[in-house]
């Protein structure tokens, strides 16, 4: 009973996340398809529900009722376990993240970031075991390639995180965001190179383009996911998108100010608080405008419902801002609501921006070949991130010595970042020259 009283909130949150996350991920997939379509001059899913809004539900139902095919000689236990490991690791990592000052399932882990990074690294097991369990030479090769890629970029990602942690001074997720609030500047601005490194490394971590060779359809060696069908495949898929959300959340927490509003401590910029409700209200108005254009009655009602939802959310977002203005006496009471609700909005906004950037890259850039991918990781990103840590560390010492904090710390860290970038580019140039010399020069054959 004692146990229950203390842990009921996290338990409920956890169950809610596990239940709701697949739906959210499904809609992230829909959003990706719509963005892909937009960048490709077409419309994307439009048929299933108005503007394709019911597509994820259709896909989920389809995947659930598919036949579960297990290869004959596959190792049954491992075949069952592999996707579970992937999904489990991803969902467990979600537990350590804080969406707002109060929204956290695993409350106050003092090694928060380490926990998240460590647990999401366990997802690599799921990949390797999946390739193993398929009992196919090529699936195994694809899985090993994928895991090699993940492991290589793990180091660079970790180093980049260390940069941010140097500023924060703590691994506790909530405290990191508090540190950014105290400093008045996001750590991503203080260490842009670290943000950039983490961005690139996290794309490789989640097997997204341009680093998605192990799972691309047009490649020869089929990836680790080949032999999994139906629900098992959807677990892998779920794991991939959850991983995306996890790395986006880690980046947001550490580099982009977590749930803080931009310029959170500047009083005169408080009008930014109106941005969230305005945004949702505008979306609601857009839905209202599109309602008469829907072809069928049912779709019109659906659009109206979506518009209504947007307006409701806008109202919820607006109230903590408007109430203190209308009735100053309630300001203190409303404060935690403000922090929680607006905090949640800003966090989701930043995570969405980060994920949008992922998608944008996916549809714009071609794929790296595997050796080029590994070379980029080992010969560029890892030196860059290590040098960056060293130089940022030095910059921090300088900052302490000269009592620089907040924005003034930029004076020390910006030169450090630029120097790190220059050194790393120099290393890259050297490496490319070496590679060009090694390239086989083809003399005309005996054909001539």
Partner 1 sequence: MASNTIAGTGEKQQTLLGADELILNMGPQHPSTHGVLRVKLKLDGERVIGSECLIGYLHRGVEKIAENRTYQQFAPYVDRMDYVAAVSNGLGYCEAVEKLLMVEAPPRARVIRTILTELQRIASHLLWLGTHALDIGALTPLFYCFREREEILKIFEKYCGARLTTHAFRIGGLQYEAHDTLEKDVERFCKAFEPRIKDYEDLLTQNRIWLGRTKGVGILQAADAIALGATGPVLRASGVKWDIRKAMPYAAYDQYKFEIPVGATGDTYDRYMVRMEEMRQSRLICLQAIENIPAGPIMAKVGKVLKPPPGEVYHSIEAPKGELGYYVISDGTVQPYRVRIRPPSFVNLQSFDHMVKGHLVADVVAIIGTLDIVLGEVDR
Chain residues binding partner 1 by CB under 8 A are 36, 39-42, 71-74, 134-139, 209-210, 212-213, 216-222, 226-227, 362-372, 439-440, 442, 444-445, 447-448
Least separation in angstroms between residue 270's CB and partner 1 is: 41
Shorter beta-carbon distance to partner 1: residue 38 or 265: 38
Least separation in angstroms between residue 369's CB and partner 1 is: 5
Least separation in angstroms between residue 274's CB and partner 1 is: 36
Least separation in angstroms between residue 197's CB and partner 1 is: 17
Least separation in angstroms between residue 434's CB and partner 1 is: 15
- Quick one: CA dihedral 293, 297, 301, 306, positive or negative? negative
The answer to whether the CB of 29 falls within 8 A of the CB of 37 is no
- Longest CA span, the chain: 92
Which residues does residue 104 pair with via DSSP β-bridges, in sequence order?
Answer: 98
Rounded to 5 degrees, what angle do the CA atoms 287, 363, 32 make? Answer: 35
- In the 8-state DSSP scheme, what is residue 104? B
Match 């409701």 to its residue by tokens. Answer: 312
Shorter beta-carbon distance to partner 1: residue 232 or 261: 232
Shorter beta-carbon distance to partner 1: residue 69 or 330: 69
Least separation in angstroms between residue 361's CB and partner 1 is: 10
Shorter beta-carbon distance to partner 1: residue 115 or 380: 380
- In the 8-state DSSP scheme, what is residue 221? S
Q: What are phi and psi of 209, to 5 degrees?
A: -60, 145
Least separation in angstroms between residue 220's CB and partner 1 is: 5
Half-sphere exposure of 172 toward its Cβ, with a 13 Å CA cutoff?
Answer: 10
Which residues does residue 98 pair with via DSSP β-bridges, in sequence order?
Answer: 104
- Residues 255 and 380: their CA atoms lie apart, in Å, by 21
Least separation in angstroms between residue 336's CB and partner 1 is: 45
Least separation in angstroms between residue 442's CB and partner 1 is: 5
Shorter beta-carbon distance to partner 1: residue 33 or 290: 33
Shorter beta-carbon distance to partner 1: residue 292 or 440: 440
Shorter beta-carbon distance to partner 1: residue 2 or 445: 445
- Residues 319 and 341: their CA atoms lie apart, in Å, by 10
Burial of residue 100 (number of CB atoms within 10 Å: 0-12, 13-18, 19+): buried
- For residue 139, give the H/E element and its range: helix 137-168
Neighbour count for residue 139 (Cβ, 10 Å): 23
| Cα separations in angstroms, 351 against 255, 344, 356, 383 | 11, 11, 8, 27
Shorter beta-carbon distance to partner 1: residue 2 or 217: 217
The answer to whether the CB of 221 falls within 8 A of the CB of 370 is no
Shorter beta-carbon distance to partner 1: residue 154 or 227: 227
- Residues 293 and 413: their CA atoms lie apart, in Å, by 53
Helix (H, G, I), strand (E, B) or coil at 178: helix
- Residues 256 and 186: their CA atoms lie apart, in Å, by 6
């Amino acid at each position: 009973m004692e146990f229950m009283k203390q842990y009921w909130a996290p338990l409920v949150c956890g169950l809610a996340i596990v239940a709701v996350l697949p739906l959210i991920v499904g809609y992230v997939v829909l959003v990706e398809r719509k963005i892909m379509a937009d960048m490709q001059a077409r419309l994307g899913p439009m048929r299933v529900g108005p503007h394709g809004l019911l597509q994820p539900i259709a896909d989920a139902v389809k995947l659930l009722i598919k036949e579960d095919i297990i290869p004959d000689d596959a190792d049954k236990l491992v075949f069952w376990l592999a996707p579970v490991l992937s999904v489990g690791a991803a969902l467990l990592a979600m537990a350590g993240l804080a969406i707002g000052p109060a929204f956290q399932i695993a409350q106050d882990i003092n090694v928060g970031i380490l926990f998240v990074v460590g647990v999401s690294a366990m997802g690599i097991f799921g990949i390797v075991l999946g390739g193993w369990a398929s009992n196919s030479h090529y699936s195994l090769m694809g899985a090993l390639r994928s895991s090699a890629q993940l492991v290589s970029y793990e180091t660079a990602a970790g180093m980049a995180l260390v940069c941010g942690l140097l500023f924060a001074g703590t691994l506790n997720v909530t405290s990191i965001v508090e540190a950014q609030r105290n400093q008045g500047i996001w750590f991503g601005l203080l260490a842009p190179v670290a943000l950039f490194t983490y961005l690139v490394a996290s794309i490789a971590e989640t097997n997204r383009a341009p680093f998605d060779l192990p799972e691309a359809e047009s490649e020869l060696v089929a990836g680790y996911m080949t032999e999994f069908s139906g629900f098992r495949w959807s677990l892998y898929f779920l794991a991939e998108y959850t991983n995306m959300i996890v790395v986006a959340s880690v980046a947001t927490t550490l580099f982009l100010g977590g749930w803080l509003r931009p310029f959170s401590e500047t009083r005169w910029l408080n009008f930014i608080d109106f941005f969230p409700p305005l945004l949702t209200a505008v979306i609601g108005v857009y839905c209202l405008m599109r309602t008469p254009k829907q072809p069928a009655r049912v779709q019109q009602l659906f659009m109206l419902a979506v518009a209504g939802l947007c307006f409701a959310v806008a109202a919820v977002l607006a109230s903590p801002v408007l109430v203190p203005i209308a009735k100053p006496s309630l300001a203190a009471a409303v404060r935690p609501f403000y922090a929680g609700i607006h905090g949640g909005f800003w966090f989701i906004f930043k995570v969405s921006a980060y994920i949008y950037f992922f998608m944008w890259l996916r549809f714009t850039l071609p794929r790296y070949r595997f050796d080029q991918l590994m070379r980029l990781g080992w010969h560029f990103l890892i030196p860059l991130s290590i040098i960056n840590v060293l130089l940022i560390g030095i910059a921090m010492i300088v900052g302490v010595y000269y009592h620089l904090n907040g924005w003034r710390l930029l004076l020390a860290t910006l030169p450090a970042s630029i120097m790190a970038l220059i050194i790393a580019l120099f290393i890259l140039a050297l490496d490319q020259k070496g590679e060009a010399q090694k390239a086989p020069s083809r003399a005309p054959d005996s054909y001539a």
